[in-house]
Amino acid sequence: MTTLAGDELALEDWITLEKIKSFLEKLKMTTKALESSFATLDNDLLSMDFLLAQFEAGKEAAIDDPVMAPMYNSGWAKLDKYYRLTEESPAYVAAIMLHPSHKWHYIQENWRKEWAESSKTLIETLWNEYKPVESPLPLCEAHRQP
């Protein structure tokens, strides 16, 4: 017959589990928000910004914690990998820039200067690729032509 005497959780274990649960609730909330019918492309980067901030705060708070510190570090590294993939498509930045309540203000206020500058270059490149080659005639002139 096996004994379970050594399988009890100590108070320290319960505290660690509570920290993990609390953090996972933030991840769950963000995931659910992005799954909703109201999810839009601009929310992807906003959510990633939120999650990266949560990971960074966790990393700082748990810098000496032998259990939590590696969890925060590996989670941050994985999220950063996906965040960097968004740099391959200007659609994410364009979605924020074109959103009426965000525009450039969000990027300038929430991103590092070098990220904001590279985003601006990305959008300028996108615009140059898709802008009209010729200006359309003004509506009044278009009606005058036979």
At 102-123, the pLDDT tens digits run 888 888 888 889 888 888 888 8
Q: pLDDT tens-digit profile of 42-95? A: 888 889 999 999 999 999 999 999 999 999 999 999 999 998 888 888 888 888
In order of 69, 74, 122, the CA distances from 81 in angstroms are 18, 11, 19
Query: The whole model's pTM is what?
Result: 0.73
Residue type, 21: K
Contacts of 145 (CB under 8 A, 6+ apart): 137
> How many Å apart are CA 51 and CA 27, to the nearest integer?
7
CA distance 39 to 95: 12
- In this predicted structure, the answer to whether residue 1 has a pLDDT above a threshold of 60 is no
> In sequence order, what E strands does 22-133 have?
none
Determine contact, residues 48/86, Cβ cutoff 8 Å: yes
| Distance in angstroms (rounded) separating the CA atoms of residues 68 and 74 | 10
Sign of the alpha-carbon dihedral angle for 135, 118, 81, 48: negative
* CA 129 from centroid of its chain's CA atoms: 26
